[in-house]
Amino acid sequence: MDPIRGLHHVTAVARDPQRNVDFYRNVLGQRLVKRTVNFDSPDTYHFYFADETGTPGSVLTFFAWPNMRRGVRGNGETNTVAYNVPVDSLTFWEERLKQNGIQSNPIETRFGQNVLAFTDPDGMGVELIEVRDLPAIQHWEDGPIPQAYALRGFHSVTLWLDEIGPTSALLTQGMGYLAAGQEGNRYRFTGDANELGHIVDLVHRPGKMQADFGAGSIHHIAFRVPNDDAQVNYQSALSTAGYRVSPVMDRSYFHSIYFREQGGVLFELATDTPGFLIDESKDTLGEALKLPAWFEPNRSEIAASLQPLTLNPVEKVSAS
Ligand code: ZN
């Protein structure tokens, strides 16, 4: 079976849709490439933030659930999503975050790379990690951040786990990841196929508190499979290995299967195809509310049930 090609997207929960868009788009400089609804609860938004075109491995998505209480970080969930950034950009980010009311931790070094950690306005863990050989993505030219500082897709995710054995076995034996080292209680695994989002870190926290799901929690992490055939192969192999795997679901921009790994974290395998340009042109990505065909007959009711959203003007940072 083909090894997994790194992360496809990460999906988390935010409370206030406007605050979520203002932070990821206007402060971090991620393009809102899709504005749709949660297919299981169409009176709430589902936002996709990514590079200019929605390259898999750069896509952070949010369910905006205004009535959700705040979650608590703990074992059995994905704790942090980390982005690649250019070397020597962390002092810029430290200052930019501070100007926007976000206090970051002191810069630390991990596996030889500088890491700036902070929490987003909902309390989700985010890290920016300086990487020498940056992966290729599509830079958002109309965004606020010049390329010298801009986020370059995902570096990694970090899972907090009571036991790491079953999860590491799944990654290495079932998904094509390689064990790549240990620092303290952090165990690193890398995919061999891809430079974008190809790292998974497991943090071993035996006996520590379990996570309590809510706003600021990461709902699931999705890994890349190239196409539907590869997905079906994984579906049957994972079922044979004892996982309860969902049927294939049509998510409009990709096809998905879901299963919960033994550490408690919800995993998804998502196809690269058909992608985010299937129902909008590159120039207008994210501007209109997009709905799957089965919701179109109810478009006006759905649109009326959503909070109004403004795409505030982007203030470009000068490159010097
Ligand atoms: Zn997903």
Query: Is 319 part of a structural domain of the chain?
Result: no
pLDDT at 20: 98
Residue ranges of E strands in 87-153:
108-110, 113-119, 125-131
Average pLDDT for 145-149: 97
Residue 249 domain-assigned (yes or no): yes
Residue 248 domain-assigned (yes or no): yes
Tell me the two tokens of residue 295: 């919701």
Of the CA atoms within 13 Å of residue 198, those in its CB half-sphere come to 18
Distance, CA 12 to ligand 1 centroid (Å)? 9
- Is 70 exceeded by the pLDDT of residue 122? yes
Is residue 1 a part of any domain in this protein? no
Cβ proximity of 256 and 248 under 8 Å: yes
CATH code for the domain in which residue 60 is found: 3.10.180.10
Quick check: is 310 in a domain?
no
Residue 195, pLDDT score? 74
- Report CA(45)–ligand 1 centroid distance (Å): 14
Please state the pTM of the whole predicted model: 0.97
Question: Cβ distance 269 to 251 under 8 Å?
Answer: no
In-domain check, residue 313: no
Round to whole Å and give the CA distance between 82 and 291: 29
Please say if the pLDDT value at position 118 is more than 80.
yes
Q: How far is CA 213 from the centre of its chain?
A: 16
| pLDDT at 1 (0 to 100) | 80
Beta-strand relationship, 31-38 and 108-110 = unpaired
Q: From the CA of 10, how far away is ligand 1's center (Å)?
A: 7
Q: Residue 286: how many CB atoms within 10 A of its CB?
A: 22
How close is the Cα of 117 to the center of ligand 1, in Å? 24
**Residue span of the structural domain in which 75 resides:** 7-305
State residue 320's pLDDT score. 65
Cα–Cα distance measured from residue 273 to residue 278, given in angstroms and rounded to the nearest whole number: 9
3-state secondary structure of 169: helix
Tokens of 248: 């294939």
Would you say residue 316 lies in a domain?
A: no
Beta strands in 69-198 (DSSP E): 77-86, 108-110, 113-119, 125-131, 154-161, 177-183, 186-191
Q: Quick one: average pLDDT of 105-127? A: 98
Q: Is residue 319's pLDDT more than 80?
A: no
Residue 269 Cα to ligand 1 midpoint, Å, equals 8
What is the domain count for the chain?
A: 1
Let me know if residue 127 belongs to a domain.
yes
Average pLDDT along the chain:
96
Q: How far is the CA of 62 from the centre of ligand 1 (A)?
A: 10
CA–CA dist 59, 50 (Å, integer) = 4
**Residue ranges near ligand 1 (ion) with Cβ within 5 Å:** 11, 222, 268
Residues 291, 302: Cα–Cα separation, whole Å:
9
Closest CA to 188 of 227, 157, 216, 213: 157
